[in-house]
Amino acid sequence: MDIKVFIAGIIQGSDRGRGIYSQDYRTKIKTILTKFLPDAKIFCPFENHPNSIDYDDKLGKKVFLELMEKASQTDVLIAFLPQASLGTAIEIWQAYQAGKIIFTISPMTENWVIKFLSNRNFLSLEEFENFVSSGQFETIVKSYESQKPKTTSP
């Protein structure tokens, strides 16, 4: 199954300086997806822009806007949110507006972005892995695929 997945998640969070939250979760999510969905095309913003914290304002804005657009062009957006993240909230919004599947991994179950915009929230990476390994991830994606309007050539 050819699925495009966007791994969203906290980078700076509420850090007021230039600190970066540990990005280990991205490797874990990618490992889970690769193990159970080997054909998935996975895009990770941090992997593609590991030094973005050092970008000048012009390049930073360009990359930020491109990433928001890319979030709307994916099939599935997976957002890791152990705490609030403004950029991730916007990525979720973009994917939601485009009618994409959104899975969140977060303890913030009462946060409205998570509560109202995600198709499903998981409290931990382990819970997410169980979901993917059970085949439910693929079932949901197939269900969405079958509901997409078919485009025909004239």
**Which tens digits make up the pLDDT trace of 19-31?**
666 778 989 999 9
Answer yes or no: is 124 within a domain.
yes
Residue 35 lies in a domain: no
Q: In this structure, is residue 84 part of a structural domain?
A: yes
CATH of the domain at 107: 3.40.50
pTM equals: 0.87
Q: Is residue 1 part of a domain?
A: no
Q: List, for residues 86-141, the tens digit of each pLDDT value.
A: 889 999 999 999 999 999 999 999 999 999 999 999 999 999 999 999 999 999 98
* Host domain of residue 132: 51-145
Q: Look at the chain and report how many structural domains it folds into.
A: 1
Q: What does the DSSP 8-state code read for residue 147?
A: H
Interacting residues of 37 by C-beta distance below 8 A, sequence separation 6+: 1, 3, 132, 137, 138
Those residues whose C-beta lies under 8 Å from the C-beta of residue 113, and which sit 6 or more positions away, are 89, 92, 93
Single out the residue of 82, 105, 79 nearest to residue 8, CA to CA.
79
Q: Is the pLDDT of residue 15 over 80?
A: no
Residue 151 has pLDDT above 60, yes or no: no
Asked whether residue 45 is assigned to any structural domain, the reply reads: no
Residue 117 lies in a domain: yes
Euclidean distance between CA atoms 19 and 30, whole angstroms: 23
Domain contains 111: yes
Tell whether 34 is covered by a domain.
Answer: no
